[in-house]
Amino acid sequence: MSFSPNLIALGEYLAGKFDNREQALADSAWFVHLHLWHRPVDLFTEDSITLFAEQANIVNLDQPYRQRIMRLMSGGGADAPLQLQYYMLKDPSALRGAGRNPALLKRLTVDQLDLLPGCILTVTQQTIAANSSKFTATQPPNTRCCFTYLNQIVQVALGFEATAAEFNSYDKGIDSDTGKATWGAILGPYRYTKREQY
């Protein structure tokens, strides 16, 4: 299947190694210095571009966390927005460190994933210059992204903006009882700069 130019561009913008060094130095009280990897993987290749995502604190690069799969898809029609569906690894520890060691991803199969039904984003594209776009991903109204981790139900609010050089994450943990953010992009997005293209 041939992919739309917008889907290909989104995949290229997201694939890479990122960090938020400048933000962490400027505002270390609120933003820790993180590395973020988005590695392409050969899953759902018939209709999607798929990435393995993982991040780590610069102080503990050998203890990465938030492993997830991002499946980028075309929308329902020619003019429909793109979509991004998240999946969770059934055993995150099996691929811990794959951001830095992509050889681990060669053994990843669809059977190792759990679909997260409410964890889907609508992705719109805006042209900002010749051959340059900004993608904005938001959760559709009235959706909740929840999953079970360490026998606890975790709710998150997801979203991002991406250009060829930057990735701004709006992901936050949500207290299901109060609806208030408990971690993540509480005071604004984590602003990552792309350091390496994959």
Q: Which tokens in the block code for residue 146? A: 């929840």
Tens-digit pLDDT profile for residues 10-20: 999 999 999 99
Determine phi and psi for 98, rounding to 5 degrees.
Answer: -70, -20
Instruction: Give the count of alpha carbons within 13 A of 45, CB side only.
Output: 5
Which residue shows structure tokens 């571009």? 49
Q: Could you tell me which of 168, 192, 173, 170 has the C-alpha nearest to residue 183?
A: 173
State the Cα–Cα distance between residues 179 and 186, nearest whole angstrom: 13
What is the pLDDT of the chain when averaged over all its residues? 92
Tell me: the pLDDT tens digits for 117-138? 899 999 999 998 888 899 999 9
